[in-house]
Amino acid sequence: MSPLRSGIEERFRATLVLVADLPVSDVDQPRYYAHSSSEERLQWQRLSEHLEATAARAVAFLDAVGLADFGRVAGLLHDLGKYNPDFQARLGGASRPVDHSAPGAAVAIERYGSQLGKMLAFCIAGHHAGLANGVNGRQISALVDRLGGAVSSPDPIWEREIALPALLVTPRLELRSDMVGFCATFLVRMVFSALVDADYLDTEEYYAGLEGTPKVRGQHPRLKTLSQRLDAHLDVLLTTAPRSAVNDLRREVLTHVRAKAVESPGVFTLTVPTGGGKTLTSLAFALHHAMHHGLERVIFVIPYMSVIEQTARVFRSALREDDGDPAAFVIEHHSTFDEDRITSRESRDKLRLAMENWDAPIIVTTAVQFFESLFANRPSRCRKLHNIANSVVILDEAQTLPLKYLRPCVAALDELARNWRASIVLCTATQPALGASDGFVGGFENMRELAPVPRNLYGRLKRTRMRHVGTMGDAELADRLRESPQVLCIVNSRRHAHELYGQLETAEGAFHLTTLMCARHRREKLEVVHERLKSGAAVRLIATSLVEAGVDLDFPIVWRAEAGLESIIQAAGRCNREGRANEGHIFVFEPEGRTPPTEIGQFADASRSVLRRFQDDPMSLEAIFAYFQELYWCQGREALDGKQILRQIAERQHSLDFPFETIATEFRLIEDFQVPVLVPWRGESGDDDTAERLLHDLAYAPRPGRIARLLQPYVVQIPPYSRSALLAAGAVSAIREEEFGQQFVVLENLDLYRSDMGLALADPTY
């Protein structure tokens, strides 16, 4: 018997049992269904079954944070509007518009009041369209309009098929007096997330059963197993590493931090100088801490997409992941393409979204994906939020959060730690002054340091000397770079890197790294640079800030264009990294005739002031603290919440008419919008056809989500106007434009892509 037929017969037998169990008077009652598959109704999913199953999943998601009843009510009411003959006709093929979400939202307010009921109503009414504004909706009808419209009453039979809790108890949450509204919005988002994920999963299971292809989820190694693997890996690294001051310090830091895992959950700092082994040390802490306190996963948040693949690869290697299943338990999640648009073509009755719901033990994601999801309103982006609760969140390079959104980001992290059983680790060599005791309004309270006496660590790991050398033009700078056989120069823009490399490209060992190269190309280039550095060959590398985090390079001399002190110190982390020389040298210069981007200019002004005040040791903890205090003070409280997100929420905390849709639209960490171009890079050898094969598959694949993720290492992000020029010149073309618009634009004129410079944008007709 075929799996499909077997699945149908099992459901048929289950239906017979249900009918047999009903009182005789109930057999003739109308049947209501949640999902249809064909004209044969014996295969359709009973509505009551779907509501109960969704509720059970939502309960499981929210039980650990004390909101099980909220999950149950949301699950039972979310599709209440399907108890409607018009909707049942739609399942049979009729074209009748029916709002099946609003009736359940109305019942939630009727049964549970204008506060708890209203918060549930946001979730229920938005489980397809997204969380709406309370009033004055934009693209989504506002909640007040949906509830005030002509909401058809569901068939009263629903009360005989599902049983709602008699009352809801107000959750016990730790509230800050100035953040009551923010806390309420977080509750709504978490319940919404649990509901959406539960709904997707049950629908997915139903259709997978019909097709005889059940989805296998959640079969991951336990955190204890992963922790044991990591400990074994670290033991090998530390015992085989040569004895040196740097390696001795790494051993001490790891041992000390791992022992701190027993501390109660909350907000932690891990302040370790660059090169001190923060990445694997923080993962070791997170796994031990999660095991000790019953937390479910580790979420590693990285500021740069250029580093995410490398970090995930390090984790997989350390944890010895099964090569046969590359996504078994370390999930990379970042947004190169418009996932909503791609995955909408993959859905069947709202299922099979390729968006991960973060149900793996280890997630590696970007700050953009993490924080924009916490302030999002779309179901596909919010689906994973409930899995951030009850987790350890490691914020790598915590100082890189954009100033305009700093206060909302801190508020979100603080709320996760206060009320959602999350531990937050701010992991960086340049710890920002984000504590309430530092004078940061709404800052963290009771932060605990994991590293052993950071001031001592900085003294022991001091391997470089920094000095400001004044203004310097490109010609003079190129001459100075030629004087050193191994030297790194970091500038603030792709254009500057391009033009400076043009003056140096004939020098021995000249290399150029830029985000105009695809990630796969950059990785190959870095491997060559790394090997030349080890062998003592000449390397004169011109790069942008992409090499400042997570890139293991060790130069004796580093030149850095003026920027924020945290960026300069990150650059210094690529200098004398392993302590091979007595002292490395960092030269900070002001590029002649070049105006930095506005925010970088603000950072540079603050760092210039600190460099003058702390000339003897501008990389000390005292200098770093002074820098961040000056930066935040100069910006002012309002500028650190540039879109007034916290104010918008606070103004509506009494009415609960929160502007979810407006906030989701306005919260964009990266406002310099870039668009992707796919490059069929064949590698330096020219014989790697991986990208070409993936592009060929993309042209025909019915569900391109998986292929899109595999193509991300071959993407170059450029401004929209540059891509428009390339399209107009015929240098690029869009794959399946009628379906996906310009999501998948591929480079056709390969002469525009150089192995030393990446994608050339100056002349698209070349």
Q: Which of 156-165, 195-204, 641-650, 700-709 has the lowest mean pLDDT?
A: 700-709
* pLDDT average, residue stretch 73-101: 91
Q: Which of 180-184, 372-376, 400-404 has the lowest mean pLDDT?
A: 400-404
DSSP of 637-698: TGGGGTT-HHHHHHTTTTTT--BHHHHHHH--S--S--EEEE-----TTS---HHHHHHHHH
Spatial contact of 159 and 76, defined as CB atoms under 8 Å apart: no
Helix (H, G, I), strand (E, B) or coil at 627: helix
* pLDDT average, residue stretch 659-673: 89
State which H helix or E strand residue 333 sits in: strand 330-333
Q: What single letter denotes the amino acid at residue 674?
A: Q
Beta strand pairing call for 267-271 and 423-428: parallel
Is pLDDT above 70 for 416? yes
* pLDDT average, residue stretch 311-331: 69
Q: Which of 600, 496, 615 is nearest to 544 (CA)?
A: 496
Query: In which order are the strands placed within the sheet that holds 732-734?
Result: 715-718, 675-678, 745-747, 732-734
* pLDDT average, residue stretch 290-316: 87
User: From CA 328, how far away is CA 362, in angstroms rounded?
Assistant: 10
pLDDT at 596: 84
pLDDT tens digits along 4-56: 333 323 433 343 333 334 343 444 567 999 998 876 788 899 999 999 999 99
Could you tell me the pLDDT band of residue 1, with boundaries at 50, 70 and 90? very low
In angstroms and rounded to an integer, the radius of gyration of the C-alpha atoms of the chain is 28
Average pLDDT, the chain: 87
Is pLDDT above 50 for 404? yes
Higher-confidence residue of 346 and 93: namely 93
* pLDDT average, residue stretch 261-286: 93
Residue 136 carries which DSSP code?
A: S
Q: Which of 137-146, 259-268, 283-292, 597-606 has the lowest mean pLDDT?
A: 597-606
pLDDT at 37: 83
Helix (H, G, I), strand (E, B) or coil at 732: strand
Higher-confidence residue of 341 and 487: namely 487
Q: Which of 702, 428, 765 is nearest to 573 (CA)?
A: 428
Which segments within 514-597 are labelled E, that is strand? 539-543, 557-561, 584-591
State which H helix or E strand residue 737 sits in: helix 737-740
**Cα dihedral sign for 503, 506, 511, 516?**
positive
pLDDT tens digits along 191-246: 999 999 999 999 988 988 887 776 656 667 889 999 999 999 998 888 888 887 78
pLDDT at 21: 41
User: By percentage, how much of the chain surpasses pLDDT 70?
Assistant: 90
User: From CA 579, how far away is CA 600, in angstroms rounded?
Assistant: 30
Q: What single letter denotes the amino acid at residue 409?
A: C
pLDDT at 522: 92
CA 679 to chain centre: 24
DSSP of 505-525: TTSTTEEEE-TTS-HHHHHHH
Higher-confidence residue of 182 and 618: namely 182
Q: What single letter denotes the amino acid at residue 664?
A: A
pLDDT tens digits along 109-125: 999 999 999 999 999 99
DSSP of 410-465: HHHHHHHHHHS--EEEEEESS----BGGGT-TT-BSS-EE-SS-HHHHHHHT--EE
User: From CA 124, how far away is CA 145, in angstroms rounded?
Assistant: 14
Give how far Cα 394 sits from Cα of 39, 154, 282, 386, Å. Answer: 50, 46, 7, 17
How many other CB atoms are there within 10 angstroms of residue 652's CB atom? 18
pLDDT at 354: 32
* pLDDT average, residue stretch 307-312: 78
User: By percentage, how much of the chain surpasses pLDDT 90?
Assistant: 59
User: From CA 514, how far away is CA 238, in angstroms rounded?
Assistant: 33
Is pLDDT above 80 for 637? yes
* pLDDT average, residue stretch 558-576: 92
